[in-house]
Amino acid sequence: MSNIKEIQRRRTFAIISHPDAGKTTLTEKLLLFGGAIQVAGAVKSNKIKKTATSDWMEIERQRGISVATSVMGFEYKDIKINILDTPGHQDFQEDTFRTLTAADSVVVVIDVAKGVEPQTEKLVKVCRMRSIPIIVFINKMDRPGKDAFELLDEIEQKLHLKVTPLSWPINMGPAFKGVYNIFSKSLTLFSPGKQVIEEGIQIDDLSDINVDEYLGEDADKLREDVELVEGVYPEFKVDTYLNGKLSPVFFGSALNNFGVKELLDNFIQIAPSPVGRESNVRLVKPEEEQFSGFVFKIHANMDPNHRDRIAFVRIVSGTFRRNTNYLHLRLNRKLKFASPTAFMAQKKSIVDEMFPGDIVGLHDTGNFKIGDTITEGEIMSYKGIPSFSPELFKYVENDSPLKAKQLAKGIDQLMDEGVAQLFIGKHTGRKIIGTVGALQFEVIQYRLEHEYGAKCRFEHITLYKTTWFKSTNKAQLKDFRARKANQIAIDKEGREVFLADSQFALQMAQQKYTDIEFYFTSEF
């Protein structure tokens, strides 16, 4: 029996933004409209509050409650929507990149006053590389901000996206009156703080005098703007959006429930249902009979007495069934799962069957690491979860000699979870931890002590980048390995990396060894 119906009614996506643009608020409002929660303020998102930047105990606490909100599923108009939560804090960027591999589309939230911010740029770049369809939501229209045309220019330039507005704002800030939906030709009027959702007023022709009645002196401005929009921006075509070549833009105010329902209604119409994924041998399509999926996130249980974890698996094809034997490719072992978990709004429940696009949480005692593939028997591995060359490095040393085993195990498991990367000096045997942000070092130290009973200390290392490398020129490789012996380490997969202590050293190596390619991500 084919899953076509179940596949077609699913939408799995991530909301991304620079911190504070309104991702959490928008997520919450989407859940409200979907009837998944009853009151605002119920979502404890993966968001790490600004005040917590130096308080990593608080971060751990927040990570704990965020297990349930890592995936938020709900039903809306017979569509099963899975929102993948992404951490806002930039030190956890890699988490976000990995989560994006499990999403089929993305909504980018931009603050109308702040415009395109650095983290939005980075995240959208990753989406563009994978041609993920992107919808843009310009938030906080109730506040004074940038002119809509200027903002669209900025989005095109900084995010390298081709955009077309599907709705258009009538003023902003205190004078904000609402939006005209160019797509459905309807006018929705704004009333601050209103919790009731107004249906738009159908206006097929903007020259209609009713428009003047609703908008007064702003009516002519809207007419001019829409004429300009229609002249300047391309007509919206669903296919072009699905190919990642055109992004529709909506305006609204998540806090005031404004423009959110409109976004959701359009989203379910145009956003892609689950798409296939490339494995190392072939493209796997969702409608295939046999189950397959990959682990994109591992979340540690916050209870220090239990070292178990939840592995989040994106189902790519077939039907996942409880208590069924599946092949864990890396371990070459059959595993079955007695309590696979589905995530609906903030509730977890054990399920018997799940379909492509769904995220299943598997209780794990240490078998999984990020990027692992499980199948019904086929020998293949999903691609697309690379490690990035970290930004910060430290030697990690054992600080309680009797606990060397615990330390090794702890480090091993934290690396499987993707908290940081471990490199072992080929000559020195010293362990180097590389991270994206400074916070991870504190998180590692804290978790090693509280979950594994091991103490570690970090020591300074002068290191600019670790790069993976390869070459077909054997002589050059041999010479490079011999001369740089002290600067070569092994990553967790057993691959060699070059430890460049400065940008200059890396450039010198690149100039000298012209046949060697140096890579900043582990997939090349």
Binding site for ligand G4P (CB under 6 A): 17, 19-25, 47, 88, 139-140, 142-143, 253-256
Residue nearer to ligand G4P on the CB measure, 23 or 177: 23
State which amino acid sits at residue 513.
Answer: Y
Maximum C-alpha span of the chain: 83
User: Are 13 and 293 spatial neighbours (Cβ–Cβ below 8 Å)?
Assistant: no
User: Are 361 and 310 spatial neighbours (Cβ–Cβ below 8 Å)?
Assistant: yes
Q: How far is CA 380 from CA 283, 326, 384, in A?
A: 10, 13, 13
Q: Is 99 left (phi over 0), alpha (psi -120 to 50) or beta?
A: alpha
**Closest separation between CB of residue 49 and ligand G4P, Å?**
8
**Closest separation between CB of residue 175 and ligand G4P, Å?**
14
**Closest separation between CB of residue 192 and ligand G4P, Å?**
9
Give the separation between CA 107 and CA 247, rounded to whole angstroms.
10
Give the separation between CA 76 and CA 83, rounded to whole angstroms.
12
Residue nearer to ligand G4P on the CB measure, 37 or 254: 254
**Closest separation between CB of residue 108 and ligand G4P, Å?**
11
Write the DSSP symbol of residue 236: P
Write the DSSP symbol of residue 253: B
Give the separation between CA 36 and CA 28, rounded to whole angstroms.
9
Give the separation between CA 141 and CA 170, rounded to whole angstroms.
10
Q: For residue 370, what are the contacts with CB-CB under 8 A and spacing of at least 6?
A: 98, 295, 296, 297, 298, 385, 416, 417, 418
CA angle 93/96/97 to nearest 5° reads: 90
**Closest separation between CB of residue 255 and ligand G4P, Å?**
3
Residue nearer to ligand G4P on the CB measure, 41 or 401: 41
Residue 349: exposed, middle, or buried by beta-carbon count in 10 A (0-12, 13-18, 19+)? exposed
**Closest separation between CB of residue 143 and ligand G4P, Å?**
5
Give the separation between CA 203 and CA 424, rounded to whole angstroms.
66
**Closest separation between CB of residue 262 and ligand G4P, Å?**
14
Residue nearer to ligand G4P on the CB measure, 112 or 414: 112
Phi, psi at 331, each rounded to 5°: -90, -10
Residue nearer to ligand G4P on the CB measure, 19 or 64: 19
Give the separation between CA 5 and CA 426, rounded to whole angstroms.
53
**Closest separation between CB of residue 36 and ligand G4P, Å?**
17
Give the separation between CA 24 and CA 72, rounded to whole angstroms.
12
**Closest separation between CB of residue 258 and ligand G4P, Å?**
7
Residue nearer to ligand G4P on the CB measure, 179 or 284: 179
Residue nearer to ligand G4P on the CB measure, 253 or 421: 253
Residue nearer to ligand G4P on the CB measure, 106 or 420: 106
**Closest separation between CB of residue 42 and ligand G4P, Å?**
13
3-state DSSP call for residue 500? strand
Write the DSSP symbol of residue 258: B
User: Are 93 and 418 spatial neighbours (Cβ–Cβ below 8 Å)?
Assistant: no
Give the separation between CA 302 and CA 479, rounded to whole angstroms.
48
Residue nearer to ligand G4P on the CB measure, 144 or 384: 144
**Closest separation between CB of residue 158 and ligand G4P, Å?**
18
